[in-house]
Amino acid sequence: MTSPRLSIITVCYNSVTTIGDTLRSVAQQNYLDYEHVLVDGGSTDGTVELIVQFAAQHPEKRIRWKSAPDKGLYDAMNKGINWCEGDYIGILNADDFYAHNEVLSEVMRTLDKNNALALYADLDYVDAQSVHKTLRKWHSGSYKRNSFLWGWMPPHPTFFVHKSLYQQFGTFRLDLKSAADYELMLRFIHKHEVKPVYLPDTIIHMRAGGISNASFGNRLAANKMDRKAWKVNGLSPYFFTLWLKPVRKIGQFFSR
């Protein structure tokens, strides 16, 4: 079997109530040259059994999985990156799902058209219990040089990257906790000047419930990690950069 052009990584742990939507949204894509790599942290709630059953029901799909204890979300993502065989890598969380069945076709068509090594798009936050109810809309907008200095960042689940960038610039830092995805995109895009192409389409539906903005204390902790993300890269933000980052999200609640 030849290597696929695209690898989709899903990290999961005790995700039996949501991962079915994730699996189906990938399997229903009309783009076929991909693999779905699932990295399970040793689930005990039936998640692995569901994955095995789904793969058996869809033998025509390239679905691979491993289940073993890990050091957390980003350690599992790093394992998935190292295990992937595709040229490009996307990450789809176990409680997220693609917005429609042409997402991967759009992504690969846009990457090829622009001869790009990275891509990002838009994302909708949906109600965890009623996924047809949209709570917030994250319209990323076009990237401009130094956008990160003005509190900008793309939604990480929409970030597709050529595997060579991980090999050249490294994977997720485990010491950055919830800011690991922010630090990785800051490192790739701002520090190493990898210019991503913007796909102006909502491609991910994410169930609401992130912890970094759940309270003022959590926001302060996240801000501290965001600041560390700049420091470990030898970069200096503006004095307002890291406060603009959460402020920019306010508009997501009013965007329709």
For residues 213 and 177, the model is more confident at 177
Residue 218 confidence (pLDDT) above 70? no
Burial of 39 (0-12, 13-18, 19+ CB in 10 A): buried
Question: pLDDT for 104-123, tens place per residue?
Answer: 999 999 999 999 999 999 99
User: pTM higher than 0.85, yes or no?
Assistant: yes
In this prediction, residue 60 carries a pLDDT of: 95
Banded pLDDT at 216 (limits 50, 70, 90): very low
In a domain, 34, yes or no: yes
Residue 248 confidence (pLDDT): 81
Number of compact structural domains in the chain: 1
**pLDDT of 219 above 80:** no
Whether 203 maps to a domain, the answer reads: yes
112 within a domain of the structure (yes/no): yes
CATH, residue 205? 3.90.550.10
Q: 1 lies in a domain?
A: no
Tens of pLDDT, residue by residue over 165-186, are 999 999 999 999 999 999 999 9
pLDDT band at 213 (very low <50, low <70, confident <90, very high): very low
Range of the domain at 189: 6-253
